[in-house]
Amino acid sequence: MSTRETEHTSSQERSVRIIKPNQFDSNTAQTEGMKRAAAISHDLAGADKIWAGLTTVDGHTATGKHHHGELETIIYVKSGSIKMQWGDNLEFAADAEAGDFVYVPPFIPHKEINAGSVVSEWVIVRNGRDPIVVNLEPANPAEQQATDTIHGH
Q: pLDDT tens-digit profile of 120-136?
A: 999 999 999 888 999 99
Q: For the chain, what are the domain ranges?
A: 20-151
Q: What is the pTM of this model?
A: 0.79
Which residues are 112's β-sheet partners? Answer: 84
Position 142 pLDDT exceeds 80:
no
d(CA 115, CA 121): 14
Q: Tell which residue, 116, 129, 146, 111, has the closest CA to residue 48.
A: 129
If you classify domain 20-151 with CATH, what class do you get? Answer: mainly beta
Q: Are 63 and 138 in contact (CB under 8 A)?
A: no
